[in-house]
A and B are shown apart, each in its own frame.
Chain A
């Protein structure tokens, strides 16, 4: 008695990605990526948790966006509404990216350190996986998959937040502020996506440095990455009275945004709402040009530094003999 077994969605989903896993090395790399999400569940649980909390906050907030009753007419102007709407979206993504930075920092510091600490590296190394592929998978997770995943979850959160808020506005439980505007939505998301792409490239040196610290430290990896920069800054200041390292770190943190002339763009994008002014994100989108980010030589130097760090991390994982 042979009945054809029904294909469940669980089988159908992997089938859709079969092209990804057909070639053995593609299949191996795919497995390495999945492994990271098994070990570090915060990589996918954190963005989801933030998303759920934000949507819940749309449900539970009481008059958090209370309007000044003396100027209701200006607030109801569609142009202003669109600005507020876009600004609210932008603001709603901030918790996502703050959490992402925290999660990725811990992940990068731990990912090549924990396996040496619990000696599971001896298990991973008993399988035919090169050290380049292992480190490459971690780099790919931190530099590509998690940022894109965070962007998508933030986008979905934005949409859900707006829907929940507007439903509450309809029944009179919340100020009617968030009016759907597709152009503003697309412009805001595109702007944030471009910002994310530039951030990945600009902050890559931090990623590389953390990965290298993780591969290098024999113990106390967290102390190394916090105390060493801090102490060098202090020692430099006391011994030479200079601030080169502090300046470098500062430049590496915010420098790229200067080259985009963001201040000028922001200044040109103010919309006045009665007495107050708000930045109009769609207007900002029209004014910002991301070209200068890519002609900034420091961005490329940073990427070369990142490549060197990753190479060193691979080399350490391959050749360092942590005797046991």
Chain B
């Protein structure tokens, strides 16, 4: 039987939209999930959900202001620092929410969670996860989380927008592809621990990873509209062009991620059609079945995906998604609930 997964994309403060939607899905519609995956703010949300901390998550986002998440640094310090902003308050808040009992629940893998991050040393996409025997194929890397510190580190790393927020050393040692255990005398022993940043650099909405784990019912919350909105203005300032360019890149990554699920569905439908056509044309059904279920056949054992995308119809914020304003957060939470109600 297929699994039900919740996927939440990145989006900084726009994560409030996802929290509102999830609150409605869980508390009003009484939906439950077998699998979670999130990027950036989506990693914070799905990590807390896997820990059974929805009330704490709602309270945190509903009362968020910038200084409950980030700290500003003086200009003189930025040049010698690894980021423009500090993420100490966010880490401290996560440590408050994810206590040892909550971490143990997540790490048990009862409801697995996949948190995306990008390795600064290798530039590889990583899934920090809590699923034993997870199906993760190269070139993407996977690492099974085993401690509370790693879990909090992975959630924070996934949300750490590079340059704006500090990279995070999730693992005490350099990542070893054969982990566990780190073999004695490994050529990677003594290498500096890897630093991880926002997974949204490479994957905005981690749909593929939940499909690979057998999810067939997927609820995806995407925090930017998937339709291009024309901005009727002439961009004359660097500070206007830069965020617009980042928006375009983000929208492109988001569209590609959703397209993975759509194309998987198209191919699965095509494979099913070929099978039925062959049988209708007189081919031996047993032979057809054997051909399509033999080891190594693409999409073997995969079922059609029921993908429900909850996405805002218009952009949620005009400006910086690392500015957290409590009234804007509430507005976006309300919009998320409203959108979830309309879609579901």
State yes or no: do A and B come from one complex: no
Chain A residues engaging chain B, CB cutoff 8 angstroms: none
